[in-house]
Amino acid sequence: MARIVKEYKERKKEIMDTARVLFYQNGYANTSVNFIIETIGISKGTFYHYFKSKEDLLDNIVEKFTNEIISKLEPVVNDNSLDATTKLNELYRQASMYKVENIDLIISLSSALYDDKNLILRYKMDKIANELTIPLLSAILEQGKKEGVFKIEFPKATARIILLYGSSLGEYNAELMMSLKENPDNVEEMKKHFNIYQTSVQRILGAPEGSIEIFDEQIIDAIMEKYNES
């Protein structure tokens, strides 16, 4: 049988898409490079032409997913017509809207990532997502500091703390979401957490009372409705 030759980007995407599915299904640690190449039908040399290792492949998968979200957020940060408070609120709104628009992917991700066999995958995704988001949030906080609306001394460090806090809360809320069908009251618990997070961010920034509106109940309701339909 003649060997099928594919364009560089097409082959790389094929490897990443296949590996992503296998990682979700079997766990990152349980999915070997051999299993990936056998599933696709390529040689080991072809795999290592695109990726240095399985970890390098994982980094590429996580970065691709995260960059899709980042591309939605960058225009907000770069909009010179917006003040810092508006940018911050819009940043969170855009992130929430992305989840609504890609709810099927988010549900499959949540189910896979919060399985104990995917601890490495979840850690990688959180780490890379935070590192890519910190510069965006830092820029907004720096602007808010200059405008005098955020009473902070170190914008980058503050951005990191806010994101790490959000990641921790997101992990717990994901567990609540996955058991939502058995426990419908979880949605109210999740909203409570989001409201506390919103208030906490406002206090961390020393922002004016009621100025931070990063939680939209309608968006959360939309996510929950689609999750229940799945």
Residue (of 181, 174, 186, 47) closest to 122 by Cα position: 174
* Same-domain check for residues 45 and 120: no
* Same-domain check for residues 124 and 224: yes
Q: Does residue 2 fall inside a structural domain?
A: no
| pLDDT of res. 208 | 94
* Same-domain check for residues 113 and 14: no
* Mean pLDDT score, 12-36: 88
- Tally the domains of the chain: 2
Domain that holds residue 182: 55-229
* Same-domain check for residues 14 and 111: no
Each residue of 34-86: pLDDT tens digit?
Answer: 999 999 999 999 999 999 998 899 888 878 878 888 888 999 999 999 999 99
Higher-scoring residue by pLDDT: 181, 84:
84
* Mean pLDDT score, 116-134: 80
Q: Does residue 118 fall inside a structural domain?
A: yes
Phi and psi at residue 36, to the nearest 5° = -65, -50
pLDDT class of 177 with cuts at 50, 70, 90: confident
* Same-domain check for residues 20 and 112: no
* Same-domain check for residues 113 and 142: yes
| pLDDT of res. 183 | 83
Structure tokens, 205: 């920034």
Q: How far is CA 61 from CA 9, 11, 55, 179, in A?
A: 14, 14, 10, 27
Q: Does residue 1 fall inside a structural domain?
A: no
CATH number at residue 186: 1.10.357.10
| pLDDT of res. 203 | 97
Residue 79 has a CB neighbour count (10 Å cut-off) of: 11
Rounded to whole angstroms, the Cα distance separating 51 from 54 reads 7
* Same-domain check for residues 65 and 133: yes
* Contact of 118 with 27, CB cutoff 8 Å: yes
| pLDDT of res. 106 | 64
pTM above 0.85, yes or no: no
* Contact of 37 with 78, CB cutoff 8 Å: no
Where do runs of H (alpha helix) occur along the chain?
8-26, 33-40, 44-50, 54-77, 84-101, 103-113, 119-147, 155-178, 186-205, 217-229
CATH number at residue 45: 1.10.10.60
Structure tokens, 214: 């990063």
* Same-domain check for residues 128 and 168: yes
Four-point Cα dihedral 129, 189, 97, 229, nearest 10: 110
Q: How far is CA 217 from CA 28, 96, 117, 214, 220, in A?
A: 34, 11, 32, 10, 5
Q: Does residue 3 fall inside a structural domain?
A: no
| pLDDT of res. 1 | 39
